């Protein structure tokens, strides 16, 4: 693991423990060159998901991209990064339970919206406005009505 401080390749594991309810392992490492300590997370390296977009192009699923999208929707809301990480973990768990390696961006967006609807209405509307590409006030109004049902 490359040291984020000096870039040296060699490090030693100082502490290791389960994280994310056993879904990953948190490791504290120490650089053998500069002595800097840093944290890494080890996750199961299974088959990646392929996301099929509406224009029929596809790309590999990117956890960080989903996390950033939700984080932007939750900006200035009383939502912690840990809550967002939990949502992403739950989405990934649900996607893996479907046993499909190819998921449409619509499925992923709808699943994300279902978690945001339970968490925060403002974050839901923010995410929906980008994901559903609202073009006018009526579409916003329809989304607001849908969340209140």
User: What does pLDDT average to in each consecutive run of 10 residues of the chain (149 residues)?
Assistant: 92 92 88 95 76 92 94 96 93 84 91 94 92 85 78
In a domain? residue 5:
no
Residues 101, 59 share a domain: yes
Per-residue pLDDT, 79: 95
What is the spatial distance between Cα 100 and Cα 60, in angstroms, rounded to a whole number? 13
Residues 70, 16 share a domain: no
Alpha helices for 10-136 (secondary structure H)? 63-73, 81-97, 105-119, 121-131
Per-residue pLDDT, 46: 60
Number of helices (H) and strands (E) in the chain: give both, helices first. 5, 6
Nearest to 118 by CA among 91, 140, 100, 99: 91
Domain that holds residue 26: 11-43
Residues 57, 118 share a domain: yes
Per-residue pLDDT, 116: 94
Per-residue pLDDT, 87: 96
Per-residue pLDDT, 78: 96
Residues 120, 78 share a domain: yes
State pLDDT tens for residues 20-63.
777 789 999 999 999 999 999 887 766 678 999 989 999 999 99
In a domain? residue 1:
no
pTM: 0.67
Residues 62, 34 share a domain: no
Give the chain's domain count.
Answer: 2
Per-residue pLDDT, 110: 92
Supply 67's token pair.
């996390």
Per-residue pLDDT, 54: 87
Per-residue pLDDT, 135: 85
């Amino acid at each position: 693991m490359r040291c984020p401080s000096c870039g040296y390749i060699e490090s030693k594991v100082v502490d290791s423990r389960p994280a994310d309810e056993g879904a990953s392992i948190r490791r504290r490492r120490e650089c053998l060159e500069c002595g800097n300590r840093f944290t890494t997370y080890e996750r199961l390296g299974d088959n990646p998901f392929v996301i099929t977009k509406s224009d029929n192009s596809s790309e590999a699923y990117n956890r960080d991209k989903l996390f950033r999208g939700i984080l932007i929707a939750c900006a200035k809301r009383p939502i912690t990064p840990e809550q967002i990480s939990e949502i992403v973990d739950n989405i990934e768990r649900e996607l893996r339970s479907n046993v499909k390696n190819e998921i449409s961006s619509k499925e992923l967006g709808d699943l994300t919206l279902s978690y945001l609807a339970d968490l925060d209405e403002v974050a839901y509307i923010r995410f929906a406005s980008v994901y559903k590409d609202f073009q006018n006030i009526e579409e916003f109004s329809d989304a607001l009505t849908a969340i209140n049902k």
